[in-house]
Structure 1
Amino acid sequence: MKKRILAIDQGTTATKTYTLDSDGHFAFCRSVDHRQIYPQPGWVEHDPETLLSNVQKSIEAASDIDAIGIDNQGETVIAWDGANGLPIYNAIVWQDQRTTGFTEALKAQGAEHLTLARAGLPLDPYFSASKLRWILKNVPQAAKLHKKGQLKLGTSDSFFIYRLTGEYATDVTTASRTSLMNLATCDWDPELCEIFEIPLEILPKIRPTAAHFGVLTAPAREIPITASVVDQQAALLGHGCLRSGQIKASFGTGVFVLANVGEHVHGDHTRGIISTVAWQLTNQKPVYAVDAGAYNAGSAVNWARNLGLFTEFADINHYDRPSALSRGLVFVPALSGLACPYWDRSAAGLWLGMSLETTREDLCQAVLEGIALRTAQLLDAIFHLTGKQGRLSVDGGLINNTYLCQFLADVTQCKIVVPVSPDITAYGTGRLALIGSGMVKNLSDLTPAQKPQKIITPRNDLTYLKARFDDAVTRSRNWR
């Protein structure tokens, strides 16, 4: 008998839901945006109750569902009262930079060698631990609840699971983004918790990615949650990157490149890439990945649009002229600083090479090229470890931009594989939930992954542009 999964993609800007049947049929259900909250420069928050309401409404709108899978933003954190489930502060989003001073101080003390060795992560406000500490130190109710033994403190997935099922749990991929989990043991590390001053006992239990996370507590809706996963890892599986070396890039708010590296942690951090868990099935070893990300991709395009540089996305889809960088104009999309391989929050976005002849079209072309060239930097860092890969699977809204994809192919000399479904993240989440529910035994038993919609091959060799872009990135650093 055919079974149906509800796959919920709870992302940075919206909550999207899809159904995935055990025969492989994948269908869109709904999408609901939520508000971004900016209390101070560099601070980014969400309303936890709004996020939860959007998840709950998505479940209520679905019918004939046998199990649920939820993917999450990764490093975003929430604190709440365990007695009533109510949040005590807004969700602090992965983009938030309020803890920069603290992480820089830890670096100065030499603590980064331990976070890299144990958690696979550098010291950066991007990751969850410093945000969790900030809540403990700055939200008075947190200390009061901790004394009573009622404080719940975790990533956003643990909040959703707690409110939906009453269980206090997270999954191993999300825990691997906190800087508190030991990659070798897949459990909370006491020394890492001590560095960040996080009481280990208040953290949720870590479970495999495809596992039982409880049953919905609402009457007449006794549906199990059978997968919880970070959105980027869900996309890796959704693309069918099941073998070591296979790689994908997701273009959303930022751009995030992940490569499957198999069952062993990759410990070489000399190129600024990070180690993480790709997924884990119940009673199996975890599969690991290496990860390289940039904070600004879609956010840079939206920023350019808000500046009035273009009106419709179709306006920036084609350029019948040489590349902007070959004509001396470059854009560095460091609007929120630089992540891999620099990990430099002092960097700032910039255009270089403008003249009186520079047009809005030129500036937009440079923005797209800057995103592609930052992606090329991420790929080069990963290829140093995995070896050059000839194919790159891509997803996200920006892959609809013809110019970006072709320029990316030309500057990386990779074939760019575009999937049929634009929401490969939810597809991967649904496939994990099929396994977690027991409807499918293993990854090899899943229906074949979706065939590509198209494959974009290199037309020109533009790799020579990378050196000049690297120079521009250097100029963007130490500005703030």
Structure 2
Amino acid sequence: MTLCLAIDQGTTSTKAFRWRPGTDIEPAGSLTHRQIYPQPGWVEHDPRELLAHVRTLVGNTPDATALALANQGETVVMWHARTHEPLANAIVWQDLRTRDMIERLRAEGAEKVTLARAGLPLDPYFSASKMRWLLDNVPGARSLAAAGDLRIGTSDAFFLDSLTGTFATDISTASRTSLMNLRTGAWDAELCALFDIPLSCLPEIRATLGPFGQIADGPAVVASIVDQQASLFGHDCKEPRDIKITFGTGAFILGITGADPVVRPASGMLATVAWMFDGTPTYALDGGVLCAGAAIEWGRSVGVIDTLSPVWDPADRCADRGLFFVPALNGLGAPTWDRDARGSWTGLERTTRREDLGRAIWEGVGLRAHQVVAAFEQASGARCGRISVDGGMCRSAAFRQFLADLFRRDIHFVDHGDLTAAGLLRLCARALGSGQMPPLFWRRTRPRHPVPDGAIAAFAALTARPAGPITPTEESPA
């Protein structure tokens, strides 16, 4: 009998879930891994540790017949083509070591090329500059590349090559590298030359449902996708302008745009591929709030947040009183992309209490998400459709109520369940041609006390785009 297994290899942990048609989704294990910080601004993972955790969780479900794998997105691994041994630690999507490289490329006018071909601005967030750094700084890497013995790619390609012998990535992950032509869905020779990445070292780009090979004595890998796109599929976002917000370490906003990419650099939103079925890609716009759940954890560490289930008076918000926290603990992501911004409270008074400082952090994360959704609407030219949320912060009823009041519309959520896992298992079911899908039971929080426009505008003034940036031209991908 069919047993589907989902493996979500994320930033802080690797989680497994299983599902048989006719049953509910069940957790099947979770393993955390080390966060390695060699220098300020550098973030690394040990690829061997990540792979070992994936192997362990697959082995814990020996009767699985099909596997769907989610990856971190922009995180990069370099390894030996024949031995599969990593040649360095993985550089994580949060890593900022390539900022100087990015600024040099921007000064040379390279951003026009990345926007026109990949649909992405220049930023250390994306994989290409991380790959270039590894090629330039790992001893012997260029020589191995010249000899045909080097492989480099996003973490999914390393896992697939090691587990099944299939050196491939999927189109949604490839669209996060700045090396894929957004319109053709293939590696772009001009982009690879721009970043000095040998095409021969990169994995084959495949559709979301692969195939991606068979694990020895284990399941076939029938789907591979970025974790946020898996979550989008789990949220059942199918129609243009449907939006999901995942409040994890960061807050990741993805919204469907349809069969054609929407590239609007001035909006601060990122064009990306949601998935590709039957040879046809579905495109989306993506915007990241770099610090969401991480801001809550920081608030706990400094003693201003006591609980992850706060109880507030929804009509007595910090924002209404002019007290704000900008959650820019590692810069601002979309839509301003100001990596030099720093977190701050403003509007402090002698009457401000410790619990007010904590609540302002929660509200600041919500206000940043609201900014990204507004940027999506600007880029797509229409009001967004259904908004659904998930992630650890959304377990708080008080936070969900704040979001409903902030967006002035219903906020859809699932009481129990991991929507990245749900998306992966639904992809499994689709790949297998199953007539059944894992069940989800949606609820909604309705607005009660709308957040005033003045409060939203005051927060926007605190996070405005810095003066004097290079403003990219709005071009469609070549």
Q: TM-score range, shorter-chain basis?
A: over 0.9
1:431 alignment partner in structure 2: 426
1:469 alignment partner in structure 2: 459
Given that residues 239 and 419 in structure 1 are in contact (C-alpha distance below 8 angstroms), is that contact kept between their aligned partners in structure 2? no
CA distance in 2, matches of 1:141, 1:49: 20
The amino acid that maps onto 1:471 is A
TM-score by length of 1: 0.93
CA distance in 2, matches of 1:82, 1:307: 45
* CA deviation profile, 1:392-431 (whole Å, cap 9, x unmatched): 1111111012222111111111211012443100110121
CA separation of 1:205/1:320 partners in 2, compared to 1, >3 Å: closer, same or farther? closer
Report the alpha carbon displacement of residue 40 of structure 1 after superposing the two structures with TM.
Answer: 0.6
Report the alpha carbon displacement of residue 254 of structure 1 after superposing the two structures with TM.
Answer: 0.5
1:257 alignment partner in structure 2: 253
Paired residue for 1:360, among 343, 354, 371? 354
1:247 alignment partner in structure 2: 243
CA separation of 1:88/1:340 partners in 2, compared to 1, >3 Å: closer, same or farther? same
2:272 alignment partner in structure 1: 276
Given that residues 268 and 335 in structure 2 are in contact (C-alpha distance below 8 angstroms), is that contact kept between their aligned partners in structure 1? yes
Comparing 257-266 with 368-377, greater Cα deviation is found at: 257-266
Report the alpha carbon displacement of residue 390 of structure 1 after superposing the two structures with TM.
Answer: 5.1
Q: Say which SS state the counterpart of residue 181 (structure 1) adopts.
A: coil
Report the alpha carbon displacement of residue 39 of structure 1 after superposing the two structures with TM.
Answer: 0.6
Given that residues 391 and 414 in structure 1 are in contact (C-alpha distance below 8 angstroms), is that contact kept between their aligned partners in structure 2? no
Paired residue for 1:381, among 371, 375, 388? 375
CA distance in 2, matches of 1:167, 1:64: 22
After superposition, the CA RMSD in angstroms is: 1.8
1:197 alignment partner in structure 2: 196
Report the alpha carbon displacement of residue 292 of structure 1 after superposing the two structures with TM.
Answer: 1.2
The amino acid that maps onto 1:269 is P
Paired residue for 1:455, among 441, 444, 448? 444
The amino acid that maps onto 1:312 is T
Paired residue for 2:307, among 312, 316, 326? 312
The unaligned stretches of length 5 or more in structure 1 are none
TM-score by length of 2: 0.94
CA distance in 1, matches of 2:182, 2:466: 33
CA distance in 2, matches of 1:312, 1:420: 19
Given that residues 344 and 477 in structure 1 are in contact (C-alpha distance below 8 angstroms), is that contact kept between their aligned partners in structure 2? no
Report the alpha carbon displacement of residue 317 of structure 1 after superposing the two structures with TM.
Answer: 4.1
Report the alpha carbon displacement of residue 37 of structure 1 after superposing the two structures with TM.
Answer: 0.8
CA separation of 1:30/1:54 partners in 2, compared to 1, >3 Å: closer, same or farther? same
CA separation of 1:174/1:463 partners in 2, compared to 1, >3 Å: closer, same or farther? farther
Q: Say which SS state the counterpart of residue 280 (structure 2) adopts.
A: coil
Comparing 260-269 with 126-135, greater Cα deviation is found at: 260-269
Given that residues 222 and 428 in structure 2 are in contact (C-alpha distance below 8 angstroms), is that contact kept between their aligned partners in structure 1? yes
Q: Say which SS state the counterpart of residue 464 (structure 2) adopts.
A: helix
Comparing 421-430 with 270-279, greater Cα deviation is found at: 421-430
CA distance in 2, matches of 1:4, 1:211: 18
How many pairs were matched up?
A: 466
Q: Say which SS state the counterpart of residue 188 (structure 1) adopts.
A: coil
Which portions of structure 1, spanning 4 or more consecutive aligned residues, are displaced by more than 6 angstroms? 475-478
The amino acid that maps onto 2:252 is F
Given that residues 74 and 174 in structure 1 are in contact (C-alpha distance below 8 angstroms), is that contact kept between their aligned partners in structure 2? yes
The amino acid that maps onto 1:365 is R
CA distance in 2, matches of 1:471, 1:310: 25
Given that residues 77 and 131 in structure 1 are in contact (C-alpha distance below 8 angstroms), is that contact kept between their aligned partners in structure 2? yes
CA distance in 2, matches of 1:475, 1:112: 18
* CA deviation profile, 1:428-477 (whole Å, cap 9, x unmatched): 012112233x333xxxx55376230x201111221412100011223999
Report the alpha carbon displacement of residue 222 of structure 1 after superposing the two structures with TM.
Answer: 4.0
2:34 alignment partner in structure 1: 35
1:98 alignment partner in structure 2: 97
Report the alpha carbon displacement of residue 276 of structure 1 after superposing the two structures with TM.
Answer: 0.5
